[in-house]
Amino acid sequence: MSAETTATDWPLFEVFIRSRSGLEHKHVGSVHAADARMAIEHARDVYTRRQEGVSIWVARSADIVASDPAEADALFEPARDKVYRHPTFYAIPDEVKNL
């Protein structure tokens, strides 16, 4: 094996695909590419061989900031005791219609 095969990677891009017009873009995976343009082309080849998409977003993985699972409790706890944000919290007599 030549020294050349001790490879280095192109930057990693996360791939998001809109499957049909009217739907949101959804994360599907990632590709390596030299630049954003190539990332879109690689994403096309890897993730849309059967017309799975009408639009592609790519974002450098290094630019994505994610919440920490260890902090999930602290982060989402404030919503836990606010059941009054749901319509089912309110008791309305059966006779009342259209509410």
Out of 21, 70, 88, 93, the residue judged to bind other proteins by CB under 8 A: 70
Ranges within 39-68 binding other proteins (CB under 8 A) = 45-47, 49-50, 61-62, 64, 66, 68
CB 20 within 8 A of CB 63: no
Structure-token pair, residue 58 = 């790519």
CA atoms of 6 and 76, how far apart (whole Å): 44
Based on the number of CB atoms within 10 Å of its own CB, is 17 exposed (0-12), middle (13-18) or buried (19 or more)? buried
Out of 21, 24, 51, 69, the residue judged to bind other proteins by CB under 8 A: 69
- Return residues touching other proteins (CB under 8 A): 1-2, 4-10, 12, 14, 28-32, 34-35, 38, 45-47, 49-50, 61-62, 64, 66, 68-70
